[in-house]
């Protein structure tokens, strides 16, 4: 079975952050990308998105949370540093998921957090850049759903 995921950001305002997040989502095989109430200047994201993900990954710009529509059966997962969030290494990724990140200088809104089935956090000392956080979540998802064998016990790669 082929699993799918989407990546989104609420109230993102820095075009280069959006471009980097979109490029990373494209690289990891995201099925779609979305924004909620993005700042108008994010149209400049093309400058940071050297993979031209707009040509390869559907983009859904929503003006408000109430407009947001996800595929049937898609689980919304918020990525946020909250006390009760599940640490990413302990999280079982849903088969169909949409991961949403908050604005650069703040958190995911309480309204959006309430719509999330799960809130996960990357176990760091402080918040990360949204592009870096997105890359870590997508990499973790790839490890979990990528059918990779267990890592070797000894340092290095598997013995042939």
Q: Give residue-wise pLDDT tens across range 43-74.
A: 556 555 666 666 788 889 999 999 999 999 99
The CATH number of whichever domain residue 25 belongs to comes to 3.40.1280.10
Considering the entire predicted model, what is its pTM? 0.90
Q: Report how many domains make up the chain.
A: 1
155 within a domain of the structure (yes/no): no
Question: Which residues span the domain enclosing 38?
Answer: 4-145
150 within a domain of the structure (yes/no): no
Specify burial of residue 49 (Cβ count, 10 A radius: 0-12, 13-18, 19+). buried
Q: What is the Cα gyration radius of the chain?
A: 16
**71-121 pLDDT, tens per residue?**
999 999 999 999 999 999 999 999 999 999 998 878 899 999 999 999 999
According to the model, what pLDDT value does residue 69 have? 95
Please state the separation of Cα 56 from the chain's center in Å: 17
Confidence of residue 140 (pLDDT cuts 50, 70, 90): very high
According to the model, what pLDDT value does residue 44 have? 59
């Amino acid at each position: 079975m082929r699993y799918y995921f989407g990546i989104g950001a609420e109230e993102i305002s820095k075009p280069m952050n959006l471009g980097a997040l979109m490029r990373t989502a494209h690289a990891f095989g995201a099925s779609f990308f979305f924004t909620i109430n993005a700042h108008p200047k994010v149209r400049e994201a093309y400058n940071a998105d050297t993979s031209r993900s707009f040509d390869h990954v559907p983009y859904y710009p929503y003006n408000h949370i109430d407009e947001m529509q996800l595929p049937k059966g898609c689980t919304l997962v918020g990525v946020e540093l909250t006390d009760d969030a599940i640490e990413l290494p302990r999280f079982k990724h849903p088969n169909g998921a949409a991961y949403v990140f908050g604005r650069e200088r703040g958190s995911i809104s309480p309204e959006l957090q309430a719509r999330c089935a799960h809130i996960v956090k990357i176990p760091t000392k402080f918040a990360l850049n949204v592009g870096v956080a997105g890359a870590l979540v997508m990499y973790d998802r790839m490890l979990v759903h990528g059918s990779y064998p267990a890592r070797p016990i000894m340092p290095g790669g598997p013995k042939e």
